[in-house]
Amino acid sequence: MFKLSLPDGPFAIEIASILIGVAVFSTLLAYISMLIYRLKGYVGQKRADNTIPLVDNLLLEKVLLHPQINTEIPKVEMVELAKSFDIKELNPGWAKHLLIARLVNYRKNVRGNIGNAIRSLFIQLELDSVCLKMLRSRKWYKKAKALYILVEMEIVIPDVTLLPLTNSHNHHLRSAARLAYIKLSKNDPFKFFDVVTEPLLQWDQVELFRVITSSENFSMPNFARWITYSSNKSVVSFCLKLVVHYMQLEAVPAVIRLLDNKDHFLRANAINALGKMDVDEVADQLLHMYHNQPIICQTEILKALGRFRNQQAKEFLKREFLHSNDFNLRKHAARSLINILSKEDVLIKELMNNATKESLMILKHCMDPLIKF
């Protein structure tokens, strides 16, 4: 009469019995894995504890305290010096990787002659070939790691090896390759800006910005080239940051042209850049366009007017402060107004005297040196 298709007792018990076996076996396997992993970790730590001081001592004794370290260690001497590192403790593969990590760490922290000596030592010890071998690995993270090391050591990688990696499917490898290309390519290091189709992530931008702004090896191009012609918004946005950093006044016309761009964020970035570069000849244009803009652009316009300290804008700022419906816009207008005028200015006093409770609070907020925003 009733036929249930649900598992009856024995079937459930059969499954349960099998799963008990699986669970017990898996738990034991997990314990063993933990044991092996911790043992490995212990051995690795022991090795590191023994090897790192050895490397540090050798570096200190042979390189950092070398009598000619402040000028330049001759190549012949560097070859001799490298032989001191040719000891059995540093021969195994794991020791070489520890040595590389240590040299990279030193190189990160020192520049000039000491940095150059560490780089020469890296080459003399043929550790670059270890990295180039890693670069041929099929695993993306090994390639990326090799790229980071080679960038830090400023070891040139042939374009033929590097360029394909800049288009890798793996984002992290692609990002490392772009960084390496900018830093190491002997040709036009900014060439990849022309071809990059994927967005530059904020993380990429942070890394690229560091590499570009800290490098002394190449002359800066006029970034207006990409601001004008690149169809990649993230490249344009990044170039705007570089234009501001280098105060590239020759790029200003290209930045101004961005004020007509359809993308709100690019427009906001352009206004921000113009404000920071103090290009106050665009003040009228900004005032003219203000009411047709989204909040993000309006905010940047108000901030830019404050940076310009343009007296012509004070009536406009006053109006915005008094009549805008948006609290933050009112705050930005007030802050810019206070940037342009002194606290003792008649207009400020007049505003203070006639202000509503909220307006007075905003004005006091903006005048207080303890408040940053």
Residue 124 CB, nearest distance to other proteins (Å)? 26
**Which residue lies nearer to other proteins by CB, 72 or 358?**
358
One residue of 159, 209, 329, 347 binding other proteins per CB under 8 A: 209
Among 102, 145, 303, 318, binds other proteins (CB under 8 A): 145
What is the distance, to the nearest Å, from the Cα of residue 281 to the centroid of all Cα atoms in its chain?
32
Q: In terms of C-beta density within 10 A (0-12 exposed, 13-18 middle, 19 or more buried), how is residue 76 classed?
A: exposed
Task: List, as one string, the DSSP characters of 179-196.
Answer: HHHHHH-SS-TTTHHHH-
* Buried residues in 95-109 as b, exposed as e (16+ CB within 10 A): bebbbbebbbebbee
* 9 part of the interface to other proteins, by CB under 8 A: yes
Dihedral pair phi/psi, residue 249, rounded to 5°: -65, -25
Q: Which of 46, 288, 349, 364 binds other proteins (CB under 8 A)?
A: 364
- Alpha helices per DSSP H over the chain: 9-58, 75-83, 93-109, 112-124, 127-135, 140-153, 159-165, 171-184, 192-195, 202-214, 224-229, 233-246, 252-257, 264-276, 283-289, 295-308, 314-323, 327-340, 346-354, 357-367
> Considering the rule CB under 8 A, would residue 38 count as an interface residue with other proteins?
yes
Is there binding between residue 16 and other proteins (CB under 8 A)? Answer: yes
Over the window 148 to 187, marking each residue x when it contacts other proteins by CB under 8 A and - when it does not, the resulting string is x----------------------xx---x-----------
The yes or no reply on residue 294 touching other proteins (CB under 8 A) is: no
Which region among 78-86, 257-265, 324-332, 347-355 touches other proteins (by CB under 8 A)? 324-332
Distance in Å, CB of 244 to other proteins, minimum = 10
Q: Which of 102, 178, 314, 331 binds other proteins (CB under 8 A)?
A: 331
Choices 1-9, 253-261, 271-279, 300-308; region in contact with other proteins by CB under 8 A:
1-9
* 71 token code pair: 């000028």
In the complex with other proteins, which residue's Cβ is closer, 312 or 328?
328
Pick from 60, 156, 206, 249 the residue near other proteins by CB under 8 A. 206
| Token pair in block for residue 364 | 């006091």
CB of 202 to other proteins, least distance (A): 4
Q: How far is the CB of 57 from other proteins (least distance, A)?
A: 25
Q: Of 197, 196, 218, 215, which Cα lies nearest the Cα of 207? A: 215
Residue 320 binds other proteins (CB under 8 A): no
The answer to whether the beta carbons of residues 145 and 180 sit under 8 Å apart is: no
Which CB atom, from 124 or from 232, has the smaller least distance to other proteins? 232
Structure tokens at 311: 């007296």
Judged by CB, which is closer to other proteins: 262, or 373?
Answer: 373
Among 68, 129, 161, 202, binds other proteins (CB under 8 A): 202
Q: Are 156 and 184 in contact (CB under 8 A)?
A: yes
CB 222 within 8 A of CB 188: no
Closest CA to 233 of 259, 179, 190, 196: 196
Q: How many residues bind other proteins (CB under 8 A)?
A: 59
Q: Which residues contact 310 (CB under 8 A, 6 or more apart)?
A: 280, 283, 340
15 binds other proteins (CB under 8 A): yes
d(CA 59, CA 284): 61
* Residues between 243 and 272 with contacts to other proteins, criterion CB under 8 A: 245
Residues of span 104-143 touching other proteins by CB under 8 A: 108, 141
| Interaction site with other proteins (CB under 8 A) | 1-2, 4, 6-9, 12-13, 15-17, 19-20, 23-24, 26-27, 30-31, 33-34, 37-38, 41, 108, 141, 144-145, 148, 171-172, 176, 198-199, 201-203, 205-207, 209-210, 241, 245, 327-328, 331, 358, 361-362, 364-366, 368, 370-373
